Amino acid sequence: MRLFTSAVSSTIAIGLLAGCAGNIGSSNASPLGLGPQARTAPISVFDDAPPRVVSVLHSLVLPDKKRKKPKTGIYVSQFDAADVFGYPIDNMGNKKPVCQVGGVLDVNGVGVDGKGNLMVPNPSVAGIDIHKGPDMCGKLIGSIADNFGQPSDATSPNAVTGNIAVGNLDDGGSSVPGSLSICTLTGGCAVNLTNGHMYHAGGVAMSNSGDCWVDAKTSASGGAALIYFKGCAGGGAVASGFKPTYYGGMDIDNSGNLVVIDDMAEMVYIYSGCNPKCKAVGGPFPLKGETFFGKLNSTNSQYVAVDRTDALVDVYSYSTKKIKFLYSFNSSLVGSDLPDGVAIDPRSKE
């Protein structure tokens, strides 16, 4: 558990109470009841391994009340909460959320597409909600039913007009292997891709040219494999040269490199290629705490990750040579609600 100064802790506590008690911002709730049938209880990506105790000392900066509400920002989800929060893109002052998307539950990862639309894999409706961008917390455009499994991460160059890659953590129960669904807003999830090395599907990535990757847990006892689906189709190929020992979230930087988290080791690896041969170009770089999902901003100057153990969003500088911690924020986040997913608007250009 990371420690804070008493003055900062008091300020944070006040902010948390205020955020919980008041109206945080505009709320765009998802219509419930979209799911085709009852399912087993959704699981969190963190159900696979117990939280590690992390002892790191760093402080939050006190709030700066003079800053104006931004139109771009950082989305953060909590597995046991009913909202996805939208924060300022620069939240060094630990400001409370500027908006929220409601009517969600059991959300693991979230994503922003290349147009700024928000994708929320929402097991409470057994589907994926698409919210209009590029402004934060836009209106609900539509919901896609996912008949194949528990949607837990999503990515797309354009979620309104193109394909959406949806990672299903499992396909109907924690012991049923997961999959990658290829969906569209108008046609739903018509294609489901599986691979014998995919036990639980973690982070997903899609290139602008239309290739897909899944960072997968390989068995009930652990392990990790990166599965490459050329053209987001077929049976997939296990990438060679992939070193993480446990699965996690994933993003693509502006040079086409995959930025992958090892949740167990709390490290970030950077690879080029992986189609299916990987070449290491950066890392492993240490993270501050137990982290599954992390995302890059549009300029690739910052990498934002959620530390579930300490209920903090950690912001780092990013390059293939170094990922360096900058600051954290936690306003309105609750540790028992299991903060996990993150997305940035605007996202990395790839």
pLDDT at 150: 95
pLDDT at 17: 33
Pair 253, 300: CB distance under 8 Å? yes
| pLDDT tens for each residue of 129-159 | 999 999 999 999 999 999 999 999 999 999 9
Identity of residue 72: T
Residue with tokens 């209880």: 41
Is residue 196 a part of any domain in this protein? yes
Is residue 187 a part of any domain in this protein? yes
Residue with tokens 């490459």: 228
Is residue 115 a part of any domain in this protein? yes
Ramachandran angles phi, psi of 335, nearest 5° = -55, -40
| pLDDT tens for each residue of 19-58 | 333 334 444 554 433 433 444 678 788 665 434 343 333 3
pLDDT more than 90, % of the chain: 76
* Exposure b/e, 30-47, CB count within 10 A at least 16 = b: beeebbeeeeeebbbbbe
- Three-class secondary structure assignment of 18-72: HHHHCCCCCECCCCCCCCCCCCCCCCCHHHHCCCCCCCCECCCCCCCCCCCCCCC
CA–CA separation, 322 vs 161, rounded Å? 36
Pair 204, 212: CB distance under 8 Å? yes
Nearest residue to 268 via CA among 317, 197, 310 = 317
* Helix or strand (DSSP H, E) at 16: helix 6-21
SS3 267: strand
CA–CA separation, 190 vs 299, rounded Å? 34
In this structure, of 69-78, 138-147, 164-173, 312-321, the range with the lowest mean pLDDT score is: 69-78
pLDDT bin (cut points 50, 70, 90) of residue 7 is very low
CA–CA separation, 35 vs 150, rounded Å? 11
CA–CA separation, 312 vs 327, rounded Å? 10
Q: Residue 231: left (phi > 0), alpha (psi -120 to 50), or beta?
A: left
pLDDT more than 70, % of the chain: 81
CA 237 to chain centre: 23
| pLDDT tens for each residue of 182-206 | 999 999 999 999 999 999 999 999 9
Pair 193, 236: CB distance under 8 Å? yes
Question: Structure pTM?
Answer: 0.85
Q: Residue 155 sits in a domain of what CATH number? A: 2.130.10.10
Total of domains in the chain: 1
Is residue 260 a part of any domain in this protein? yes
Q: What is the DSSP letter of 311?
A: T
Is residue 350 a part of any domain in this protein? no
Pair 69, 98: CB distance under 8 Å? yes
CA–CA separation, 213 vs 229, rounded Å? 6
Is residue 215 a part of any domain in this protein? yes
Domain of residue 23: give its range: 6-345
Ramachandran angles phi, psi of 46, nearest 5° = -85, -5
Is residue 1 a part of any domain in this protein? no
